């Protein structure tokens, strides 16, 4: 599994929900030490962890919250103190396997520190140290210090942990809201002070419902330099028929989970009153604003499917799935051109464009799936009509924004049946970017998860791991951005896409050869698959300035912008844009890692595409006319 510190630094991590609430729901009352169940009823604890894992939790916190020796002595469990802590970690590990991290949970002692109470700070330190040592025997991945109202006591817990381990530590404070429902004025400063300690992240948990937690998150978002975990209660409990019930709905909690992430939280989970279906809904909502939420879980398997044993089939050889795949994997340098589907009902102009490209030797057209969240005719319909109209092959983009897993599987089975089998898996732009900003984003998975699912279908399994009664023959690709602002993250995701089964790559437009070649060098460690470079001819000086300054990841060299600015007319600027594109194509043509180009029609002109492509006439790649042969996924 990925290192937890690295995961927390790069994306959003989903924690589980309440352990105590789930135990209480199973009929165990609060006059009993819940930690004893690790030894007395381990099956119950295992089932709770399994439910959270199935719901999508990526961190399972152990049933050891109150397992310090002082509190265990009060329950007559001091002799079992070490065993119940160790076993708590072991049970979580048995469930998590390599699909989730195990967080060893430590809560307050249960007594107030002197001088208000009778517990000396040194006694608290010793108790926390003893519990930490017992938990370490079970081999957790991290420690989660939860629900500390007294910052002095939390300090003793942090000191104790750092005296025995270098594992990641998340230190969480709980804040009681003021009578008006708002957070206390001191809460942000207290959390910032905790962040200055030797911890890997800080958190806000328990206390009250998500509104108060959000107040704290908003107050520290611009001042906090360490990852922040938000784990609210499901509102305040109400007594119903003698039992305490938390009334907040999964949708309400999920909406706040999305807001936590929008305000900068790097981890989200639940505290008292939260349960597995709530965590599932929260994770789904988080994807709408953080589609790269770390994928550490395989597809969930529903209860009714557990008895069915599915045996994967051998996928059809890549080069035999489509004509485009055959060309790329035989070493042909391919030219792909983006074709815009209509925004309305009439595809005539697009079809004529497809015919023009086919007649002039373009290998394949690309049809985007609602780029920039603008509604157009669907790419599958446009691709099918183009093939019927003129015989040209299409790569249809398929984004995760608009369909849930059920819809995705149905669409992809249909695309395979229609033999529209070149698919580019993309995460998709958030709806707020486009013409329907209030549309709901789904993001059940990101592009990496979608590639994984497509390769499951190519092996005869559906998204839940059940047999399909056959297998798809989809040639699946992915996108990348060699000029990404966070290049380390982009390279890591490139590797994950390759590992998931990406069989070709299209890049975002590139204007700096050195940036592209550096990216190729840094990704050379991954399995080689065909790589097509994006080329977008610049339309004008204003166009270049806009792309350079306002589009993340776009870098237009100063020299190119200077040439465009010096041109006196728009026609001259367009010619310079075409010339720069031709130079880029000529430069990448001989690179052994590059298998083709993906050209965006400048200012809607397919003729200009041919002007760019004509630079290849007479050029020799220096390898007998073929690219270095790519290797198929294992």
- Name, in order, each residue with C-beta under 8 angstroms of 26's C-beta and a sequence gap of 6 or more: 44
Nearest alpha carbon to residue 243 among 545, 530, 21: 21
Nearest of 359, 410, 405 to residue 380 by alpha carbon: 410
Q: Give 621-626's long-range contacts (Cβ < 8 A, gap of 24+).
A: 621/333, 621/589, 621/590, 622/590, 623/592, 625/331, 625/333, 626/330, 626/331, 626/332, 626/333
Distance CA 138, CA 116 (A): 35
Are 132 and 72 members of one domain? yes
Phi and psi at residue 87, to the nearest 5°:
-65, -35
Each residue's pLDDT tens digit, 414-464: 999 999 999 999 988 776 655 667 677 777 778 888 998 899 999 998 876
Per-residue burial over 52-90, b if 16 or more Cβ lie within 10 Å, else e, is bbbbbbbbbbbbbbbbbbbbbeeeebeebbbebbbbbbb
Q: What is the CATH number for 487?
A: 3.20.20.220
Of all residues in the chain, what percent carry a pLDDT higher than 70?
88
Q: Are residues 286 and 354 in the same domain?
A: no
Of 320, 319, 317, which is closest to residue 330 (Cα–Cα)? Answer: 319
Q: Give me Rg for the CA atoms of the chain.
A: 28
pLDDT one-digit tens code per residue, 143-162: 999 999 999 999 999 999 99
Report if residue 179 sits inside a domain.
Answer: yes
- The per-residue pLDDT of the chain, averaged, comes to 88
Instruction: Give the torsion sign (CA, 352, 355, 359, 364).
Output: positive
Helix (H, G, I), strand (E, B) or coil at 609: helix
* Integer Cα distance of 498 and 363 in angstroms: 24
Separation of alpha carbons 39 and 85, rounded Å: 9
Q: How far is CA 468 from CA 110, 312, 459, 460, in A?
A: 54, 10, 9, 5
* Burial of residue 430 (number of CB atoms within 10 Å: 0-12, 13-18, 19+): middle
State the average pLDDT over residues 524-550: 91
Report if residue 634 sits inside a domain. Answer: no
Q: pLDDT band for 634, please (50, 70, 90 cuts).
A: very low
- Cβ burial of 214 (10 Å; 0-12, 13-18, 19+) is buried
In this predicted model, what pLDDT tens digit does every residue of 192-203 receive, in sequence order? 999 999 999 999
CA distances from 522 to 88, 339, 492, 632 (A): 42, 31, 10, 20
- Reported as a single tens digit per residue, the pLDDT across 324-357 is 999 999 999 999 999 988 888 999 999 999 999 9
Is 21 within the bounds of a domain? yes
Q: Is residue 513 part of a domain?
A: yes
What stretch of H or E contains 398?
Answer: strand 394-399
Q: Whole-structure pTM over 0.75, yes or no? A: no
Query: With contact defined as beta carbons under 8 Å apart, do 366 and 596 qualify?
Result: no
Give me the number of domains the chain comprises.
2
Q: What pLDDT, in 10s, does the model give residues 302-318?
A: 444 443 445 789 999 99
Domain-embedded: residue 185: yes
Report DSSP state, residue 440: P
Q: Tell which of 245, 276, 296 closes a domain.
A: 296
Buried b / exposed e across 471-501, counting CB within 10 Å, b at 16+? Answer: bbbbbbbbbbbbbbeebeebbebbebbbebb
CA–CA gap between residue 186 and residue 598 (Å, rounded)? 55
Angle value at C-alpha 615, between 613 and 620, nearest 5 degrees: 110
* Euclidean distance between CA atoms 107 and 153, whole angstroms: 10
Whether 303 maps to a domain, the answer reads no
Same domain (yes/no): 459, 406: yes
- Does one domain contain both 268 and 338? no
Tokens of 130: 């003893």
- On whether both 470 and 585 belong to a single domain, the answer is yes
For the purposes of burial, counting CB atoms within 10 Å of the CB of 212, is it exposed (0-12), middle (13-18) or buried (19 or more)? buried
- d(C-alpha 493, C-alpha 519), whole Å: 13
Measured CA angle at 362 (ends 357, 365), to 5 deg:
75
Task: Specify the CATH number for the domain of residue 118.
Answer: 3.20.20.330
Residues 290 and 361 in one domain: no
Residue 622 pLDDT > 70: no
- Same domain as 526, residue 420: yes
Residue whose entry in the numeric block shows the structure tokens 């809201």: 177
pLDDT digits (tens, 9 = 90+) for 221-248: 889 999 999 999 886 544 444 544 555 6
The single-letter DSSP state of residue 149 is -
Give the confidence band of 24 by pLDDT, cuts at 50, 70, 90. Answer: confident
In a domain, 77, yes or no: yes
The closest of 197, 536, 84 to 544, measured between CA atoms, is 536
CA 28 – CA 63 distance, rounded (Å): 14
**Residues 211 and 350 both lie in one domain:** no
Is the pLDDT reported for residue 290 higher than 90? Answer: no
Reply yes or no on whether the pLDDT at 628 is more than 50: no
**What range defines the domain where residue 42 resides?**
4-296
Q: How far apart are CA 448 and CA 501, in angstroms?
A: 9
Q: Lowest mean pLDDT of 78-82, 182-186, 198-202, 502-506, name the range.
A: 182-186
Do 369 and 514 fall into the same domain? yes
3-state class (DSSP) for residue 107:
coil
**CA atoms of 252 and 465, how far apart (whole Å):** 31
CB neighbour list of residue 564: distance below 8 Å, 6 or more residues apart:
538, 540, 541, 544, 573, 576, 577
> Last residue of a domain, which of 250, 273, 296?
296
Beta strands in 62-152 (DSSP E): 101-106, 142-148
User: Is 314 domain-assigned?
Assistant: no
- My answer on whether 66 and 110 are in the same domain is yes
Closest CA to 510 of 490, 481, 489, 478: 481
Q: Render pLDDT for 207-227 as a digit per residue (tens, 0 to 9).
A: 767 888 999 999 998 899 999
* Mean pLDDT, rounded, for 84-91: 97
List the structure tokens of 312. 């994967």
Shared domain for 290 and 337, answered yes or no, is no
Instruction: Check whether residue 249 and residue 360 sit in a common domain.
Output: no
Structure token digits, residue 283: 């994770």
Residue 286 has pLDDT above 90, yes or no: no
* SS3 labels along 151-219: HHHHHHHHHHHHCCCCCCEEEEECCCCCCCCCCCCCHHHHHHHHHCCCCCEEEEECCCCHHHHHHHHHH
Q: β-strands 243-246, 237-240: how paired? A: antiparallel
pLDDT value of residue 550: 75
> For residue 42, is pLDDT > 70?
yes
Neighbours of 375 (CB within 10 A): 12
């Amino acid at each position: 599994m990925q290192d937890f510190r690295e995961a927390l630094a790069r994306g959003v991590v989903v924690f589980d929900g309440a352990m105590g609430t789930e135990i209480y729901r199973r009929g165990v009352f609060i006059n009993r030490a819940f930690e004893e169940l690790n030894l007395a009823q381990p099956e119950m604890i295992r089932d709770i962890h399994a439910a959270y894992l199935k719901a999508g939790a990526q961190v399972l916190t152990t049933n050891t919250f109150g397992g310090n020796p002082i509190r265990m002595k009060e329950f007559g469990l001091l002799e079992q103190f070490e065993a119940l802590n160790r076993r708590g970690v072991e049970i979580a590990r048995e469930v998590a396997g390599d699909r989730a991290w195990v967080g060893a949970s430590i809560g307050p002692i249960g007594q107030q520190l002197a001088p208000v109470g009778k517990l000396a700070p040194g006694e608290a330190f010793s108790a926390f140290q003893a519990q930490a040592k017992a938990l370490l025997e079970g081999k957790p991945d991290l420690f989660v210090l939860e629900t500390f109202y007294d910052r002095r006591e939390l300090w003793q817990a942090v000191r104790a942990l750092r005296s025995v381990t270098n594992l990641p530590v998340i230190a969480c404070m709980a804040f009681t809201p003021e009578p008006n429902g708002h957070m206390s004025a001191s809460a942000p400063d207290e959390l910032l002070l905790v962040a200055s300690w030797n911890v890997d992240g800080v958190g806000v948990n328990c206390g009250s419902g998500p509104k108060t937690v959000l107040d704290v998150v908003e107050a520290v978002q611009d001042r906090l330099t360490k990852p922040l975990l938000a784990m609210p209660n499901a509102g305040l409990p109400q007594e119903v028929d003698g039992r305490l019930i938390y009334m907040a709905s999964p949708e309400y909690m999920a909406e706040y989970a999305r807001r936590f992430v929008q305000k900068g939280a790097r981890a989200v989970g639940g505290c008292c009153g939260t349960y597995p279906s709530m965590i599932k809904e929260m994770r789904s909502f988080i994807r709408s604003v953080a589609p790269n939420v770390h994928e550490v879980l395989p597809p969930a398997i529903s209860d009714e499917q557990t008895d069915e044993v599915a045996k994967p089939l051998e996928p059809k050889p890549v080069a035999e799935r489509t004509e485009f795949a055959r060309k790329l994997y035989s070493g042909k340098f391919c030219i792909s051109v983006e074709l815009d589907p209509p925004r309305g009902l009439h595809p005539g102009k697009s079809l004529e464009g497809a015919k023009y490209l086919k007649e002039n030797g373009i290998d394949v057209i690309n049809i985007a799936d609602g780029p920039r969240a603008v509604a157009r005719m669907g790419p599958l319909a446009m691709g099918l009509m183009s093939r019927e109209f003129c015989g040209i092959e299409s790569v249809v983009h398929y984004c995760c924004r608009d369909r849930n897993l059920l819809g995705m599987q149905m669409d992809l089975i249909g695309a395979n049946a229609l033999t529209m089998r070149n698919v580019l898996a993309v995460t998709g732009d958030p709806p707020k970017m486009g013409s329907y900003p209030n549309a709901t984003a789904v993001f059940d998975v990101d592009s990496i998860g979608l590639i994984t699912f497509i390769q499951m279908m190519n092996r005869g399994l559906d998204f839940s791991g059940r047999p399909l009664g056959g297998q798809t023959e989809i040639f699946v690709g992915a996108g990348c951005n060699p000029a990404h602002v966070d290049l380390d993250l982009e390279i890591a995701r490139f590797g994950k896409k390759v590992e998931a089964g990406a069989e070709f790559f299209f890049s975002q437009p590139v204007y700096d050869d050195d940036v592209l070649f550096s990216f190729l060098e840094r990704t050379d460690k991954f399995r080689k698959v065909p790589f097509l470079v994006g080329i977008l001819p610049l339309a004008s000086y204003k166009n270049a300035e806009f792309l350079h300054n306002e589009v993340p990841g776009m870098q237009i060299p100063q020299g190119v912008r200077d040439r465009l600015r010096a041109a006196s007319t728009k026609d001259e600027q367009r010619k310079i844009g075409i010339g720069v594109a031709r130079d880029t194509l000529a430069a990448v043509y001989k690179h052994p890692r590059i298998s083709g180009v993906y050209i965006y029609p400048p200012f809607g002109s397919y003729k200009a595409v041919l002007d760019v492509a004509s630079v290849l006439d007479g050029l020799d790649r220096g390898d007998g006319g073929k690219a270095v042969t790519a290797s198929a996924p294992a």
